[in-house]
Amino acid sequence: MSDPIPCRDITDATRHHALDEGVGQAMGTRRRHLYVREIRGVFQRLRRVIGWPLMLAYFATPWLAWGERPAVWFDLPSREFHLFGATFYPQEFMLLSWLLIIAAFGLFFITVLAGRLWCGYACPQSVWTQLFIWVEHRLEGPRHRRIRLDRRAWDADKLRRKSAKHTAWLVIAVATGLTCVGYFTPIRALMVDLARLEAHAWACFWIAFFTLFTYLNAGWLREQVCHHMCPYARFQGVMFDADTLTVAYDAARGEPRGRRGGKLPHDAAEASGHGDCIDCELCIQACPTGIDIRDGLQHECIDCAACIDACDGVMERLGYPRGLIRYTSENALQGHPSRRLRPRLLGYLAVLLVMLGLFIGALGDRVPLDIEVERDRQRLFQLADDGRIRNVYTLTVRNLDQQDRAYRLEASGLDGLTLDTARLRVPAGESRRRVVEVTVPPHALEHPSHAIRLHLEALDDPTIRLERDSRFLGETR
């Protein structure tokens, strides 16, 4: 059952409490528990349509398999990152950094264009909090009942409802923690190990850590994470301009606010000097961060649009036009023309597109092969019985491809240079270490140290080819 409107009429005592909860969340003031009112409306449906599939993807991804292994797997002990058939190594984490920078510019672009859409619709903190509030509403009832429940002395019904809520929260939190660890340890094996009580201590620690993290953040801390822990909330203000789309209250239309007798028609209300805001405070009660949007743009606002849906519901029931609170820009609110395409926005878009292009180019040029060459540090060089000079190298060859490969090894840089190894075979996605001896005739050395180059090329695909430089040491004769 949904709450009645206006909500200020719950009881005198509750009204006072509800007002305190809605405001007074400024920094330094003692935090009050927010009883967030569940709201139905187009934007809340949109939030679910965006947020819940994202959550589903988070839970489902570790279960996806690609051949013999998980499709997405951060294999930290082997220092490998498997992503749908491609394997990335620490040397390639530059690509990952690049991806993070692209994501940051994407976020800047969205922020300048449409405010904190990420926070309201896709941020894990918002999505999980929305789920926890949904569970709370199902098990403890709508907002006014929850307030009464908390004020009531403990009895069997309160104990049952509270236990059910916290159990459900914990189940979600455990599933979240398990899934998170499942990105680093194959989740099917992890589940078997857990069932047999044989899971690694570190896996158990991280499951417990992420369980607690989720339970506290989405169940208890909620808006405090956005207020005090998230850096984005602090710096997003500097990205806004007068044309950025944000959730805003139309004060020119809403003021003077106030309650009015009965269901006063819009024209009559206007004629008698009333603004459209009936001061029902539904927008405050629906706000997951507990702010009053009528006070203007605040850094706590996550652009979730719950207040828009709440207010639109009120306007509809009164027969007033919707949109007293709406997505708009400062310029539009003041009656000035709003510019969509502006230099800062175009600048972010240009950087974003250039970086995306470079990233795609780098991915396209990526050779699925990596080699490390390490000279033997114990002995600078060895003299063979026939007088030839020998240097020893350790090669680590990584096959980053999806199929087993055989490679041809060659070296250049000195006359008469020979290798004791000409072929290497490395299974798909694995690495092999091989000690290789490089030998040259003594007359080939003009200096004690020469640059040489080792070439590795796939036998069946000459485009898979890499070279590494090293030094050849010896004595001149």
Q: How far is the CB of 32 from ligand SF4 (least distance, A)?
A: 16
Residue 95, class by beta-carbon neighbours within 10 Å (0-12 exposed, 13-18 middle, 19+ buried)? Answer: middle
Q: How far is the CB of 338 from ligand SF4 (least distance, A)?
A: 19
Tokens encoding 463: 């485009």
- For the chain, the 3-state helix, strand and coil shares in percent, each to the nearest 5, are 50, 20, 35
Q: How far is the CB of 108 from ligand SF4 (least distance, A)?
A: 20
Q: Which is nearer to ligand SF4, 88 or 240 (CB)?
A: 240
Q: Which is nearer to ligand SF4, 124 or 442 (CB)?
A: 124
Q: Which of 89, 118, 90 is nearest to 103 (CA)?
A: 118
CA distances from 177 to 83, 214, 221, 231 (A): 21, 8, 17, 23
Interstrand relation of 423-426 and 405-412 (parallel, antiparallel or unpaired): antiparallel
Give the H or E element holding residue 205: helix 201-214
Contact 437, 422 (CB under 8 A): no
Cα first-last separation, the chain: 97
Please give the residue ranges that form the binding site for ligand SF4 (CB under 6 A): 247, 249, 254, 257, 277-283, 286-289, 291, 293-294, 301-307, 310-311, 314, 324-325
Q: CB under 8 Å to 448, separation ≥6 — which residues? A: 473, 474, 475, 476
Q: How far is the CB of 324 from ligand SF4 (least distance, A)?
A: 5
Q: How far is the CB of 238 from ligand SF4 (least distance, A)?
A: 18
Contact 288, 133 (CB under 8 A): yes
Q: CB under 8 Å to 361, separation ≥6 — which residues? A: none
- Alpha-carbon distance 401 to 405, whole Å? 8
Q: How far is the CB of 122 from ligand SF4 (least distance, A)?
A: 14
Q: How far is the CB of 158 from ligand SF4 (least distance, A)?
A: 28
Q: How far is the CB of 205 from ligand SF4 (least distance, A)?
A: 35
Contact 82, 72 (CB under 8 A): yes
- Alpha-carbon distance 457 to 408, whole Å? 5
CA distances from 5 to 16, 19, 308 (A): 16, 15, 15
Q: Which is nearer to ligand SF4, 24 or 448 (CB)?
A: 24
Q: How far is the CB of 196 from ligand SF4 (least distance, A)?
A: 46
Note the maximum CA span of the chain.
112
Q: Which is nearer to ligand SF4, 23 or 216 (CB)?
A: 23
Q: Which is nearer to ligand SF4, 255 or 437 (CB)?
A: 255
Residue type, 129: T
Q: Which is nearer to ligand SF4, 300 or 370 (CB)?
A: 300
Q: How far is the CB of 67 from ligand SF4 (least distance, A)?
A: 44
Tokens encoding 472: 């050849």
Residue type, 330: E
Q: How far is the CB of 159 from ligand SF4 (least distance, A)?
A: 32
Q: Which is nearer to ligand SF4, 19 or 356 (CB)?
A: 19
φ/ψ of residue 438, rounded to 5:
-115, 130
Q: Which is nearer to ligand SF4, 18 or 307 (CB)?
A: 307
Q: CB under 8 Å to 151, separation ≥6 — which residues? A: 13
Contact 334, 254 (CB under 8 A): no
Q: Which is nearer to ligand SF4, 287 or 440 (CB)?
A: 287
Q: Which is nearer to ligand SF4, 269 or 310 (CB)?
A: 310
Contact 102, 355 (CB under 8 A): yes
Q: Which is nearer to ligand SF4, 293 or 371 (CB)?
A: 293
